[in-house]
A and B are shown apart, each in its own frame.
Chain A
Amino acid sequence: MGGSSPCASCKLLRRRCAKDCIFAPYFPSDDPHKFAIVHKVFGASNVSKMLQELPVHQRADAVSSLVYEANARVRDPVYGCVGAISFLQNQVSQLEMQLAVAQAEILCFQMQEPNLPTHQIDQVDKSFLLSNNNFDDNNIPQYLSFASSSNVIQDPLKKESLWT
């Protein structure tokens, strides 16, 4: 960073912040905690290697997700992000069950009164309920055996969280 102040990583690592410092664009000096937590969990050397292996336009997202994971692991040293995944999988299962019950009720109405308007029902995707296609397509493993933890759920990648 030349004559300007060193980035948060170089400050923490107590080294000169070069012009082409790989950390500088993503760890500004005004947010030292961000690098501190990533360094604590992953290590500066590993983070540097990971960033070097990525094209420049993907590095910001990579840093965001690393920061998220590091925060998760600090908040929950046993389960980390997996706790959040397990919790969310439970939520999805519960919602799918509720949806199945509700749609069964709709089918009862249809059977009792076949002439009732069903324009909304036709658009309901029943396959959403009856299969776990979403999980199969994304290869998301079922971690329901882990104790679920909501300690770490917040905004991944700046999306709105449902649990705040």
Chain B
Amino acid sequence: MALTQVSSNKCAGGFQKVFEHDSVELKCKMKFAVFLPPKAETHKCPVLYWISGLTCTEQNFITKAGSQLAAADNGIMVVAPDTSPRGCGVEGEDDGWDLGTGAGFYVDATQEPWKSNYRMYSYVTRELPKLINDNFPADPERMSISGHSMGGHGALICALKNPGKYKAYDATVLASGYAGPPLDILLDQGRDDQFLSASQLLPDNLIAVCSEKKIPVVFRLQPGYDHSYFFIYSFINDHIKHHAKYLNA
């Protein structure tokens, strides 16, 4: 699969790059960001897949979250794809900010007119990892998944539906049907997050189910923090460390 480098910036001793390719699953050109830590020059590195929230592209996380230093320290590659197929001309895809463009929800659509292009689940769990493993010094045995907001939901879906594929998981989703190898979930929630107060985010439900199902979760309610990248920036270190524990074991 041909990859075109779109940009490359030296960052935290490594390189923050953006590539473009023709996606088979999504049938359009897709961009994704890759951070290569200094370790990648000489060794294969484990990979953390970060999937972003509504309205984001591959740019938001790499410019605002400040994850590169921690990733470099821990020798982890970070891959941040876009959040949906773009420019496919699907009817209604730009009608709302929370469905369609920039809102792929990391599922494979089953209905028309979406099902031809909107296959973000397959893209993130199959096409993208294969692309990364073939073109970068990635260790195919060691990958983990994390995300924010819609991406958090996506991360958990991917993890729960692929038991044993991801070494560490990190998201917000119902997990009642999970039956696989042990998980270790770290969850941060800004207390002043407007979506939380609007009850659009329901962490208590997740916690209740995980408690019942004995799925290990540590959920932290961070006072004063909201939904923004400032919140992500503040805690991304803890999350990278959490992933590193398993990726570097």
> Do A and B originate from a single complex?
no
